[in-house]
Amino acid sequence: MRSPLIAGNWKMNGSLALVEQFGEAFADANVPPDVSIALMLPFPYLAVAQRALSGTPMAWGGQTLHDQRSGAFTGEVSGSMLVEFGARYVLIGHSERRAMFHEDDAAVLARVSAALDVGLTPVVCVGETLAEREAGRTEDVVLKQVDVVFSGIDAEARERLVIAYEPVWAIGTGKTASPDQAQAIHASIRAHVEQYSVALAAGLHVLYGGSMKAANAAELLAQPDIDGGLIGGASLQVDEFLAICQSAG
């Protein structure tokens, strides 16, 4: 019912040459037809992505956006600019944005609304820190982050969200949540979203992110409430990312 979505997050990594390499490799790669694939790229690479990834099964997107359409916001990029470059997705509220760029709940909600306004699919990242997990607060923290977004938009808009559960302690650390740990929180997110609508919860894509790689992807993606992956480090290598996409089919 929920076909998998595998999304790469290059963060501030990669090169124009690497975008071209992905374009060439995925043009005739053997990827399962029911798996959606996307790369969240640094802004300057979007123009090349629009050419090099067209004709591949891969979509592309940004890693953040500003909440206003235009104006005196030096250094920022709007959703309509992403759309001009063919972006279909945008990451919002990645833990690095929350921690390093001070994106709080209000900022996350404003960005989600801005993305929806221009037709982008927001991939909203939620997740607990190690201290929060050790204090037994994982569910509280994650479900609150989910509620901030779901309670701030209307029913039709809720249908267009993707959630990425990314335990902060697993991002870029090589420590992956075990399939059971990840499944438990994914199931809690889905059960919690039922309060908005049972059908919404059943159709909601909840991706797992945090040191996912080819070697552990199949086991994580086999969990009933894990509907795909958000992949950082391992999305920078064509063969590794392709293997993850293949294990989702």
Binding-site residue ranges for substrate: 9-11, 172, 211, 232-233
Closest distance of CB 211 from ligand PEP, Å: 4
Q: Which of 66, 103, 166, 186 is catalytic?
A: 166
Asked if 128 is part of the footprint of ligand PEP (rule: CB under 6 A), the reply reads: no
3-state secondary structure the chain: CCCCEEEEECCCCCCHHHHHHHHHHHHCCCCCCCCEEEEECCHHHHHHHHHHCCCCCEEEEECCCCCCCCCCCCCCCCHHHHHHCCCCEEEECCHHHHHHCCCCHHHHHHHHHHHHHCCCEEEEEECCCHHHHHCCCHHHHHHHHHHHHHCCCCHHHHCCCEEEECCHHHCCCCCCCCHHHHHHHHHHHHHHHCCCCHHHHHHCEEEEECCCCHHHHHHHHCCCCCCEEEECHHHHCHHHHHHHHHHCC
Asked if 209 is part of the footprint of ligand PEP (rule: CB under 6 A), the reply reads: yes
**Whether 166 is catalytic:** yes
**Binding test (CB under 6 A) with ligand PEP, winner from 212, 221, 242, 245:** 212
Closest distance of CB 243 from ligand PEP, Å: 14
Q: How many residues bind ligand PEP, per CB under 6 A? A: 14
The tokens for 128 are 């607990």
**Whether 132 is catalytic:** no
Q: Which of 94, 96, 103, 186 is catalytic?
A: 94
Asked if 171 is part of the footprint of ligand PEP (rule: CB under 6 A), the reply reads: yes
**Binding test (CB under 6 A) with ligand PEP, winner from 172, 199, 222, 224:** 172
**Binding test (CB under 6 A) with ligand PEP, winner from 149, 231, 244, 248:** 231
Site for ligand PEP in 2-21 (CB under 6 A): 9, 11
Considering only the stretches 48-56, 103-111, 153-161, 210-218, report the one whose residues sit in contact with ligand PEP under the rule CB under 6 A: 210-218
Q: Hey, which residues are catalytic here?
A: 94, 166
| Interacting residue ranges for ligand PEP, rule: CB under 6 A | 9, 11, 166, 171-172, 209-212, 230-234
